[in-house]
Structure 1
Amino acid sequence: MPGTPELFALRSDAWQLRIAPSLGGAIVDARWHGRDVLRPMPDAELSARNVRKSACYPLVPFSNRIAFGAFRFGDTQYTLTNNLAGIQHAIHGVGFQQPWQVTESEASALDMRLVHTPDEHWPFAFDARQRIEIDGDVLRLSLRIVNTGAEAAPCGAGWHPFFPLDTEAGPTTLATGWAAMLVTDADDLPCGSVSPSAFGALDDTVVDNCFTGWSGAATIDTPHHRIAIAAGDTLRCAVLFRPAGQPFFAFEPVSHANNALNGNAPPMHVLAPGDALEAHMSIALQALPATFAASFGNRRQA
């Protein structure tokens, strides 16, 4: 599907969003009072339809990696075709690589639908609905995934939002709670778990790990604003990704552990025919507290 995808705009007094339904149901950019909350997608990457450079995309019907694209479910062994060049695992589901159809569009909300039939990338049928909505200073995201096949199927959900790091303006910090960090091996697969340590400034952090037992809430303080992330009970884990030398990080609320289909916990949900999995998350914005802003300004002048 060559060429720049059609964009849908959501606007309010506080927010301005652009969404590309045909590009994996992805958010292209999201600004709050004129400032980027999510990492904006460069025009060249948008024209090239490189969804992984977007601001946020849905993770449907699984998150992160399935080791070497192989797993057993029930009495059947499955092998998936790898979906990203240079990566030896199936990764991030199929929703971000398929066009979503707009079912309803309003000034402050967009509803999209993806109907998946079994193929070499995912052998189970499903019907997914995604809603992106502005509610005051809050951006709300929701997913509902229905098993439309004749047999039980594994299912997961989540989102992959990217956040910018403005290192010249000052540090960005993350405050959240989780029970364990999954340690990864040379193949980027979980091979154990440890008690997580607190992170300092994300600007100085290099990490790409899944955290289990996530509290469902996180606060990100940037030099410009405070971001409060909240998620429903379905999203029991979070992946924190900050590559070395890059001016961004990703904080991904997800429903299951990396490589869950090969034994890592918590597992993926299992849906009977006709059953649904629902997931919700919100991104709430507020100006920095005066005490924090004053402290931050003093640090910059020191």
Structure 2
Amino acid sequence: MTEYRISAGGYTAVITARAGALRELRYRGRDLVVPFPEGGPIPDYRGIIAAPWPNRIADGRYAFDGNEYQVPVNETERNCALHGLAFPLDWRVVEHDASSVSLAVTLEPAPGYPHRLSLRADYGLSSAGLDSRVSAVNVGTTLAPYGVCPHPYLLAGPAPLDEWSLELPAGAFLEVTADRLLPRNVRDVDNHGFDFRGGRVIGTTEIDHAFTGIGFDGDGRAQVLVRDPGGTAVGMAWDRSCPWVQIHTADKTAPARSRLGLAVEPMTCPPDAFNSGTDVHRLAPGGTHEASWTIFAKDS
């Protein structure tokens, strides 16, 4: 598998051509994301760019502008189409230097998504961390629904995830069905175990939910902080292009290794948005969209 190494400001990163994925991110030798092995498959969608939709589409079916579509189901246990169409593809390099790399891929018309999009992922390292930007251009002739998110699993430090603390500036979350994780209602986090606005230990709480009601600062940025009791921490910040963020404690059934990292996925739209229409971007021919985020180390 072709991959690209970059470094700057004490950070190093490895980006793969497959899925345009972040395979590794380290700060002064410390892992900030759960890595995956060189040359092998990408487990659990680690580090991929999920486009042209984030999260899942129920039954792989949706309607758009009066037409019904069926995309391939790849999450068979829940009968959903998960994380879009870009992740199985090999992205081509556009630019690469010591501290940055840009990759691009074209989504050709496919069953259930008869549109043509050009995607570009720009990764750049500095003393502020890893800045990432995904740009989309509708290079086809049809109006296209669109959404995007990254899929890193953050690592706060060497302690178990149950001992990490999470600071999440979200005032609401999307309730989902227990069996298929499909949306039900948006609910306030007040007096709920998902209220992490003040920062607290995750403990045994299991999370695989989209959060919204994000608190953005005066510069239009929001951030999640995950702290290890030993004093190390990792953060992720993003802009207003992502009014949702999926948080997942990576729970698995034994004997699989569970809770290896905390997935933090700023999303432009929520799960099953191609059916609800919530925050789906409608890209006209020639239309563009951009979203950006940053992963950084923060030691106390």
One of 110, 116, 119 as aligned partner of 1:128: 119
- Asked whether the 8 Å contact 2:161–2:259 carries over to 1, the reply is no
Q: Give the TM-score normalised by the residue count of structure 1.
A: 0.86
One of 220, 223, 236 as aligned partner of 2:226: 220
What's the CA shift string for 1:26-65, capped at 9, x where partnerless? Answer: 1111100110000121x3xx443235353x1112111101
Instruction: Tell me: CA distance 1:246–1:219, structure 2 relative to 1, closer, same or farther (3 Å).
Output: closer
RMSD (Å), alpha carbons: 2.0
One of 158, 161, 171 as aligned partner of 2:163: 171
What's the CA shift string for 1:125-157, capped at 9, x where partnerless? Answer: 100010010021321000100111212111111
Deviates more, 1:174-183 or 1:23-32: 174-183
Structure holding more helix per residue = 1
One of 1, 5, 10 as aligned partner of 1:9: 5
- Asked whether the 8 Å contact 2:52–2:85 carries over to 1, the reply is yes
* Cα distance in 1 between the residues matched to 2:211 and 2:162: 26
* Cα distance in 2 between the residues matched to 1:269 and 1:116: 16
Instruction: Tell me: CA distance 1:167–1:227, structure 2 relative to 1, closer, same or farther (3 Å).
Output: closer
What's the CA shift string for 1:171-201, capped at 9, x where partnerless? Answer: 2111122232111112210111211232442
Q: For residue 220 of structure 1, what is the amino acid of its counterpart?
A: V
Q: What are the ranges of 5 or more consecutive residues in structure 2 without an aligned counterpart?
A: 216-221, 252-257
Q: Corresponding residue for 1:252?
A: 265
What pairs with 1:77-156 in structure 2 (closer than 5 Å)? 77-120=68-111, 122-156=113-147
Q: For residue 189 of structure 1, what is the amino acid of its counterpart?
A: L
- Asked whether the 8 Å contact 2:226–2:235 carries over to 1, the reply is yes
Instruction: Tell me: CA distance 1:259–1:231, structure 2 relative to 1, closer, same or farther (3 Å).
Output: same
Q: Give the TM-score normalised by the residue count of structure 2.
A: 0.86
Deviates more, 1:68-77 or 1:243-252: 243-252
- Asked whether the 8 Å contact 1:131–1:141 carries over to 2, the reply is yes
TM-superposed deviation, 1:284: 2.5
TM-superposed deviation, 1:168: 5.2
- Asked whether the 8 Å contact 1:124–1:149 carries over to 2, the reply is yes
Q: For residue 211 of structure 2, what is the amino acid of its counterpart?
A: F
Instruction: Tell me: CA distance 1:68–1:258, structure 2 relative to 1, closer, same or farther (3 Å).
Output: same
Of structures 1 and 2, the one scoring higher in RCO (CA 8 A, sep 6+) is 2
Instruction: Tell me: CA distance 1:53–1:236, structure 2 relative to 1, closer, same or farther (3 Å).
Output: closer
* Cα distance in 2 between the residues matched to 1:73 and 1:169: 40
What pairs with 1:1-302 in structure 2 (closer than 5 Å)? 5-21=1-17, 23-41=18-36, 43=37, 46-52=38-44, 54=46, 56-120=47-111, 122-164=113-155, 166-167=158-159, 171-185=163-177, 186-196=179-189, 197=192, 198-199=195-196, 200-215=200-215, 216-222=222-228, 223-244=230-251, 245-263=258-276, 265=278, 267-288=279-300
- Asked whether the 8 Å contact 1:153–1:271 carries over to 2, the reply is yes
* Cα distance in 2 between the residues matched to 1:114 and 1:84: 23
In the alignment of these two chains, the number of paired residues is 278
Secondary structure at 1:97 match in 2: coil
Same amino acid, percent of matched pairs: 23
What's the CA shift string for 1:105-134, capped at 9, x where partnerless? Answer: 010000000111111263321000100100
- Asked whether the 8 Å contact 1:257–1:264 carries over to 2, the reply is no
- Asked whether the 8 Å contact 1:242–1:249 carries over to 2, the reply is yes
Instruction: Tell me: CA distance 1:249–1:168, structure 2 relative to 1, closer, same or farther (3 Å).
Output: closer
